[in-house]
Structure 1
């Protein structure tokens, strides 16, 4: 069995450090999306479909069975990949499935990144200054100090450009249209991690609704926010492990 973790924005794979430590497994692979801790290939455009295809290609090269987990934009890439190639994994999990619901409204930061001019200024405010400055901004968002310091090292112009390209490729109702195919993901068991204090991913109602359409089970992480894997890695590990263990008994 192989556990594959995919992080999001504005992050590097250091985000998973606390969760990986608690899982205590030697079969964990962390995939870093281009621009988010991994180099950007020549000719890379960086639309949401480019990231979907990148993930599909990466999964096809990994010996399975694969239990796939995505957070934030990594969770979007997971769902997009599962709607296209669900047979590549044994199971999948995401904490952001609500963005595929027609009633989802992009959060304030996303709307700024999608706006020419304002988005560039907002990115510069995020990536500018010293490593310590950047770490402080990440800590203010809710990422713990030690992990924020590691991520801040990789928070630079390449990631800034990736943020803008990715968000601008999904303006309007693009993901809601993609969500019409959520049923395709039901070919493999899915898990919706619902952190109740995550205010980036839509209401509990739309997250549950999207999960149901994808045939996914919902696991509530009461009181945890967007960065649940650093806030309480033990609870995150328990939720994932119980999901995986249940698959083995089916």
Structure 2
């Protein structure tokens, strides 16, 4: 199968911008994958339209609309909440996909418990205070917070430039719409994602998106393959973009036409 047959679509999460994909894009190009599009969810590097619902459902519907415009099924890759959106599309609109990849499938498991930062975001008052410390800070301080959180430079600076008050509001809204059992309920339909080939990325040092067992279990329920990224964390695409590109390319190149 030719490498340029299908458009690849990358969707990031929070509190991020599409800058997190730049090193991976360079590595994918070296491997011959050049038809790659980055989609920025509203408020995360793109304007938030008036009346837009920054919820799990709202972002799923946004992504459905964006993918519908391509006119042909795409190879979808989602990171962080982008991975949530990707799985939700795989469940509800597999006709829009040629394949899907997610690095957060474990959050759809019934026994998944949100990580401490998410629980703060979900708590009225505490969430507003915590997100305000990020989006209300001066640019150099936002960069430092990103680096401390695991985003290396230069991506930390590029992401910081997009961490606005509007993004902060969307972070709170999206997290609060995802309180369990919200995603566990959606996870009951994970088997529907098997309508298209899927890949669950398991970064072993990412402890925010479920245990290794939860992620493997989710992959099995979704009829998906899994790929273990040993020693890599939440921002695997920044930590080792060459390995990330290799894993993605091998999956895509093994797909049926």
List, as ranges, runs of 4+ consecutive aligned residues in structure 1 with deviation greater than 3 Å.
Answer: none
> Is 1:8 paired with 2:16?
no
TM-score when scaled to structure 1?
0.98
Task: Return the match for 1:193 from 191, 194, 201.
Answer: 201
Q: 1:81 offset after TM fit, Å?
A: 1.0
> Is 1:42 paired with 2:47?
no
Residues 116-165 of structure 1 show CA distances to partners (whole Å, capped at 9, x for unaligned) of 00000000112122211101111111111100100100001000000000
Task: Return the match for 1:229 from 237, 240, 243.
Answer: 237
SS in 2 for 1:104: coil
Answer whether contact 2:28 2:34 (CA < 8 A) is retained: no
Q: 1:172 offset after TM fit, Å?
A: 2.5
- Tell me: CA distance 1:65–1:170, structure 2 relative to 1, closer, same or farther (3 Å): closer
Aligned equivalents of 1:235 and 1:31: distance in 2? 22
Answer whether contact 1:2 1:63 (CA < 8 A) is retained: no
Task: Return the match for 2:26 from 11, 21, 39.
Answer: 21
2:104 aligned residue: 96
2:220 aligned residue: 212
Aligned equivalents of 1:223 and 1:231: distance in 2? 10
SS in 1 for 2:208: coil
Task: Return the match for 1:72 from 71, 80, 83.
Answer: 80
Aligned equivalents of 1:75 and 1:148: distance in 2? 20
1:108 aligned residue: 116
Aligned equivalents of 1:159 and 1:100: distance in 2? 24
1:180 aligned residue: 188
Aligned equivalents of 1:16 and 1:8: distance in 2? 11
Residues 24-78 of structure 1 show CA distances to partners (whole Å, capped at 9, x for unaligned) of 1331110001111110111112111000000011101014341100000000000
Query: What's the C-alpha RMSD, in Å, of the aligned pairs?
Result: 0.9
Aligned equivalents of 1:197 and 1:172: distance in 2? 23
Aligned equivalents of 2:71 and 2:237: distance in 1? 25
Aligned equivalents of 1:194 and 1:232: distance in 2? 14
Count of paired positions: 249
1:62 aligned residue: 70
For structure 1, the 5+ residue unaligned runs are none
